[in-house]
Structure 1
Amino acid sequence: MQSKIKGRFRFDWQQNIVFIAFAFVFIFFAITLYKDGFLSVFNIANIFRQTAIISVMAIGMTFVISAGEIDLSVGSITALSALSTALVLDAGLGIIIALIVGLATGMFFGVVNGFFVSQIGIPSFLVTLGMMGTIRGTAMWLTDTKPIPILNDTYNFWFGSGNIGLIPILFFWMILIGLIGYVVYNKTTFGRHTLAVGGNEKAAKYTGVKTSLIKFKVMALSGLMAGLAGMLYAGRMQSGRYTFGEGDELSVIAAVILGGTSLFGGMGTIIGTLVGALLMGVINNGLIIAGLDVSQQMIIRGLIIILAVALGKKK
């Protein structure tokens, strides 16, 4: 009887490593950077602003990695979606058209990625690596590397720079997308099939799962989420720039893997992804407040990504 109770309440340290790491890092910075304002309301709100956009991309990436694929083009898609949204607003076509164009930009490149992966059979790593440069180059060419300002205050408020009380509007976007992602991932046939494809593609195919269609859908979803992230970038920065999202693909992948999604597919968690994104946001914020220069921040973030991959392999 006693052994049964022990088994029932046994704490799985590995399964909950992201929560432990988040608590440790947050407490560490709270103590060491207390006098520098780490715990101030302004700084906590800033962490959510920095984290929300990564979180949105990470939700889409969770589906991709769970299916045994990868998407390196999300940062570039984010930049082009931000620019296309800014261009529509600058032309005076209104918020609704801007939203459609921004999301359609992300979805289009997600569909292109999905086509090459699922129908042509090119590994997702190679497809999205090539698309990463192609899309970034398109963003640079489209605007001649110039930023496009967004002067629509309504758009800027609801898609990035606004606050409801003390809470940034981006926090609500993060929660909304997180809830939708959780339901789709855990409560729908699409979510179950995504995990089945990542866990054992051949077995999933024999049981009737349309594996090619699932791969197509997860790549398209990733593009859509990157498109939304680009729109939020544009609202937060009140402009569109080709530099948006540079390096974000690494932070997104690290957040997903740290959150408990297996790098090799078949296992994942949306809540863990959100906590993983928050962990990355807290680390970035703490390093900046601590006064580390850009090169030192890059070294530490690189080590975190290596750790994330190691944890994913162990699982």
Structure 2
Amino acid sequence: MQHLRVSVGHTPTIRISGIAVPAAASTAAAVAVAAGALTAESTTAAIRAVDAVSIVAGSLGVGVAVLIPWLTDDDRMRAWRSAAVWSALWVSAALVGFVADAADLMGVSPTRVSTADLGALLHGTSLGQWGMVGLVCPIVLCVVTVDSARGGGGWHPSIVGSIAAFGLVSGPVTGHLSLTGTGAWVTSLHVIAAAMWLGPLLAAAVVLRDSGAWSRILPRYSRWALWCVVAVGMSGVGATAIRWITSDASGSYYALIVVKVVLLAALILGGRRLRRVWVGRDCVAAVSTRRAVVETVGMSVAVGVAAALAVTP
């Protein structure tokens, strides 16, 4: 198999799948985010597609944190290396998103945003302050995962997962539902539950190399995913109800809600089928990886639609 070499100190090579699998998920999410932003007639619809990188990278960070206790030593190192690469990409995406927020606020093109505009966004709005949180978290995550990939053993997975989760919620908590304290909490729960559903399977597709590892991980993930789906569904219903009660929403918003519900139903039905034919069955690693990629791409489209709701009036 070909290898893509990424120099991180004396860290071993990173396999192509460590880039390709999350990249496929990011592409799927980007299409959904951009389509939703265009529906909302956002002036930065195209550039908002980079939010997909933040979604996937943050979810991968959460997934690695969940998966680490279940992995062998070799698999752990691959997991840390992949998280390090994608957290670095997350930093770039968060910076672009911060500039896009300033452009939306000032009503100018992202290429015309000045330092003064960024300062006004940071000092004068909660959007800018949470945007800075969304930039700092992936920087910290990058430092932690690079240290872990180089052999640092002192970072507890719960700390890593918390950093990634905090970075993920920094964007949604400034959306329409932030007008109420309850709305912000429900949105945060929704985002974290979605990341905990997507992230571990995405990390497994990147990390696992043999059928024995898949056979060991899948039953655990299957039980984990069930509770994540319940949390995603309940928090999604709660968020929609709060939005309907507290503010007027456009037809585009409710259209995206319908799309999201259809996607969630399809993912649940698909997951149920895979549980019967995949979990607890002997299956070669390549087939397991392919199934995980298909499932995570579908999940990424759903979370991309969810992200688009944040910019939909």
- Report the TM-score range of the alignment, normalised by the length of the smaller protein: 0.3 to 0.5
TM-score by length of 1: 0.36
Greater relative CO, 1 or 2 (CA 8 Å, sep 6+): 1
